[in-house]
Amino acid sequence: MNKTEMFRYYIYGYLNLRVMNNNGGKSLKEHRCETLKNYLSLERFPKWMGNLFVWISVHAELPITLLMELVRFLLYEMQKTYLWQLKIHDRKLYLGIREQRLKQILGNAHIKPGDVTIITIPLMNSRIFDGFLTIPLLSCVSAIQICKAFVYSIQMSLFMAKKYGKTDVLFRSYSAFDFFLACFCFGRLDNSNEVIYTSTYSRWGYLFANLSVRTTFLQHGMLGSDLCFLKKTGCPDIAFFLNEEEKVNCCKQLFTKVSESHFLEGLKFTSNEKLLNNGKVNVLIVCNLIHFDKEEAIVRELHKSGAYNVYIKPHPLGSYLKYEKLGEEIPLIILLKIDYPKVDMVISYKSTLAIEYRDAGVKVIWHDDKQVENVMKEINNV
């Protein structure tokens, strides 16, 4: 894998994310600022402090990014001195990007967690992969490759700032370093390896779908039908899809070819003991902080009705703080990441979890592009 390919995968993934962003009428930059606040959980601080932090981050993001890259480079080289180069052949590999539901997804594809080796990103808490064999990414690359990845990440950060800095907030460009390290790592693989991945249209999706080794795609995120990607990602050898509809979408929009396809097993309900048995309708709201204002309005309307028990399922990578504060005012139950109870109804944006609930026979009401009043009409009609 050469430098041109690495850069192309990174930029293709970025441009796809620009296309996919639903900004709710806001400019891309405004949308990214909100995402930055949520990503860093800035609601824990006074509003003025959070706004000041975002302002500084936006106006000084290039020097901040370059400084972070330099610090990471020094830390990686220091850490590398204590790590032996490890053998990664004859293994079934999964890149260690944070995946809260990995065990469940593997189970739905009948893949045993014990058969999978996780490549973990540097500085990541590997405990999120308890029960798996893990290998640090830095053990799979050389000191020279760490230097090259650092140089590439600086070049990419400068390019992104010049090309897109005026219209976007590139606060996560620093992840280019880890991406280029992963490119070097996976470039070492041979026919004894198999790679399992869950990425779709991001740079990781392009990387994995173009490997010369056996690859297995496990669909984690819903794709939908009305997409316009810059370029299809590539050709996994085996693909496990959420359902027939998503298979059609992926084969049409995402992949150039799929040699063998299967379907993931459906959602397995858990934690039903958390459901209240008081004669009211149990309603689960699948949440994302981007939609918090609408979610809060729906919760208040449901509470005002008095006919519903409300269960909140925050996004696994988002903060729970706003929902906890809302729960201090209004009775609701915040579910944990492992809780998937069999509720009577689900209210959601276009999320994968809601698709899984729908396929399991639970009524789902989508609130995308709908006013709260119209959402409540649908709920009450059901």
Single-letter residue type at 288: N
- Residues in the chain, pLDDT under 70: 20-28, 39-40, 96-100, 125-127, 171-174
Q: What is the pLDDT of residue 87?
A: 79
CB 239 within 8 A of CB 219: yes
* CA of residue 109 relative to chain centroid, distance: 19
Distances (CA, A) of 207 to 94, 204, 249, 354: 13, 5, 20, 28
Within 10 angstroms of residue 82's Cβ, the number of other Cβ atoms is 7
Six token digits for residue 24: 């709710």
Q: What pLDDT was estimated at residue 318?
A: 74
pLDDT of the residue at 186: 95
Q: How far apart are CA 141 and CA 148, in angstroms?
A: 11
* All structural domains of the chain: 3-263 (no CATH), 272-381 (3.40.50.720)
Check residue 126 and give its pLDDT. 63
3-state secondary structure the chain: CCHHHHHHHHHHHHHHHHHHCCCCCCCHHHHHHHHHHHHCCHHHCCHHHHHHHHHHHHHCHHHHHHHHHHHHHHHHHHHHCCCCCCCCCCCEEEEECCCCCHHHHHHHCCCCHHHEEEEECCCCCHHHHCCCEEEEHHHHCCHHHHHHHHHHHHHHHHHHHHHHCCCCCCCCHHHHHHHHHHHHHHCCCCCCCEEEECCCCCHHHHHHHCCCCEEEEECCCCCCCCCCCCCCCECCCEEEECCHHHHHHHHHHCECCCCEEEECCCCCCCCHHHCCCCCCEEEEEECCHHHHHHHHHHHHHHHHHCCEEEEEECCCCCCCHHHHHHHHHCCCEECCCCCCCCCCEEEECCCHHHHHHHHCCCEEEECCCCCHHHHHHHHHHC
Residue 107: beta bridge partners? none
- Distance (Å, rounded) from C-alpha 80 to C-alpha 123? 12
Q: Where do we find the tokens 């850069």?
A: 7
> How high is the pLDDT of residue 221?
80
What distances in angstroms separate CA 162 from CA 1, 193, 207, one per listed residue? Answer: 26, 39, 24
Chain centroid to CA 92: 21
- pLDDT tens figures, 147-199: 999 999 999 999 998 998 888 877 666 579 999 999 999 999 999 999 999 99
pLDDT of residue 99: 59
Alpha-carbon gap, residue 216 to 214, rounded angstroms: 7
Beta carbons within 8 Å of 138's beta carbon, 6+ residues apart: 76, 79, 80, 83, 122, 146, 181
Using CA atoms, how far apart are residues 251 and 210, in angstroms rounded to an integer?
15
Q: How many CA atoms lie within 13 A of 177 on its CB side?
A: 24
Q: Looking at residue 222, what is its pLDDT?
A: 82
Burial of 4 (0-12, 13-18, 19+ CB in 10 A): exposed
Taking each helix axis from N to C end, the angle separating 61-80 and 176-186, rounded to the nearest 10 degrees, works out to 40
d(CA 308, CA 281): 5
pLDDT given for residue 177 in this prediction: 93
pLDDT tens-digit map of 47-58: 888 788 778 877
Q: Identify the pLDDT of residue 96.
A: 65
The distance in angstroms from the start CA to the end CA of the chain is: 54
